């Protein structure tokens, strides 16, 4: 299908979301890949990963870019050649990207799954959520917290941060659909806005 959803965060920042229900062959049409990207695509063993990769290239087209405009640094962080900020995410049947003219940005999509209950202690202080009695609400909240931390990790862009010690997400109400977060590292605190939305059993969180 074409673009699933687009969001205008402010006049300089937009989010694009793609629902991946096309076949590999459909997604592979009308997409020009660099040699490096073609090698990367060919090396993927999973059809789902291949389709996710290609759907991101379609999102780039929606935003007015091509695969050739995207470059990665030594940490694997994506950049646009024109200097604008970009972050990319893919989970199962959805992919998304956020682009900003002037703000560092990060984005994450996650499927809402019970699995998050088993790993929650690795990225947040679980005791903060003992008052949430509803099972689905707990999964939803933890998924948002994880997505928020993943988004901030992507903004920082270097593989040094620890989710539990260095990234903090302010508590929030689901109805607000937003919160704030901080990266606390080497004596510095950097603050960011965080917004989230849920659709079809997935959670999308982005930070700027």
Express each pLDDT in 146-191 by its tens digit.
999 999 999 999 878 999 999 999 999 999 999 999 999 999 999 9
Residues 41 and 126 in one domain: no
Which residue range is the domain that position 154 belongs to?
115-195
pTM over 0.75: yes
| Domain co-membership, 61 together with 149 | no
Tell me, yes or no, whether 22 lies in a domain.
yes
Is position 202 within any domain?
A: no
Q: Is residue 20 part of a domain?
A: yes
- If asked whether residues 7 and 57 sit together in one domain, one would say yes
If asked whether residues 21 and 95 sit together in one domain, one would say: yes
Report residue 187 as tokens. 């004596």
- φ, ψ (nearest 5 deg) of residue 165: -95, -30
Query: Percent of the chain scored above 90 by pLDDT?
Result: 92
Cα-based distances in Å from 122 to 116, 154, 163: 10, 18, 8
Does residue 144 share a domain with residue 190? yes
CA distances from 141 to 93, 131, 147, 150, 203 (A): 21, 12, 10, 14, 10
**Do residues 9 and 88 both lie within one domain?**
yes
Q: Give a yes or no: residue 201 inside a domain.
A: no
- pLDDT of res. 14: 98
Assess if residue 173 is contained within a domain.
Answer: yes
93, part of any domain:
yes
Residue 178 falls within a domain, yes or no? yes
Establish if 43 belongs to a structural domain. Answer: yes
CA–CA distances in Å: residue 201 to residues 3, 88, 108, 109, 136: 18, 19, 14, 11, 11
140 and 78 fall within a common domain: no
Read off the pLDDT of residues 77-101 as tens digits, 9 standing for 90 and up: 999 999 999 999 999 999 999 999 9
Q: Give the pLDDT confidence of 47-68 residue by residue, as tens digits.
A: 999 999 999 999 999 999 999 9
Q: Are residues 61 and 132 in the same domain?
A: no
Run of H or E residues at 37: helix 35-43
Structure tokens given for 191 = 């603050």
Domain boundary among 79, 103, 127: 103
- 14 with 96, same domain: the answer is yes
CA distances in angstroms from 11 to 15, 77, 82, 95, 100, listed in the order given: 12, 24, 18, 22, 9
Give the domain CATH number at 32. 3.90.470.20
Q: How confident is the model at residue 1 (pLDDT cuts 50, 70, 90)?
A: low
Split into its structural domains, the chain has a count of 2
Q: Are residues 36 and 76 in the same domain?
A: yes
Asked if 73 and 140 sit in the same domain, the reply is no
Q: Domain end: 66, 83, 103, which one?
A: 103
> 132 and 77 in one domain?
no
Q: CA-CA distance, 3 to 105, in Å (whole number)?
A: 20
């Amino acid at each position: 299908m074409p673009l699933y959803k687009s969001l205008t965060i402010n006049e300089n920042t937009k989010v694009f979301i793609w629902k991946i229900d096309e076949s590999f062959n459909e997604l592979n049409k009308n997409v020009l890949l660099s040699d490096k990207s073609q090698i990367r695509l060919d090396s993927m063993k999973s059809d789902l990963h291949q389709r996710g990769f290609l759907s991101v290239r379609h999102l780039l087209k929606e935003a007015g870019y091509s695969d050739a405009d995207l470059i990665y640094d030594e940490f694997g962080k994506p950049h646009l050649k024109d200097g604008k900020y970009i972050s990319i995410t893919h989970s199962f049947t959805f992919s998304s990207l956020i682009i900003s003219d002037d703000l560092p940005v990060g984005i994450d999509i996650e499927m809402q799954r019970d699995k998050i209950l088993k790993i929650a202690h690795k990225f947040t202080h679980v005791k903060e959520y003992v008052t949430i009695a509803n099972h689905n609400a707990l999964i939803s909240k933890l998924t948002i917290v994880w997505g928020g931390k993943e988004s901030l990790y992507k903004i920082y862009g270097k593989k040094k941060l620890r989710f539990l010690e260095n990234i903090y997400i302010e508590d929030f109400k689901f109805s607000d659909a937003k919160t704030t977060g901080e990266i606390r590292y080497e004596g510095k605190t950097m603050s960011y806005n965080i917004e989230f939305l849920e659709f079809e059993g997935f959670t999308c969180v982005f930070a700027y």
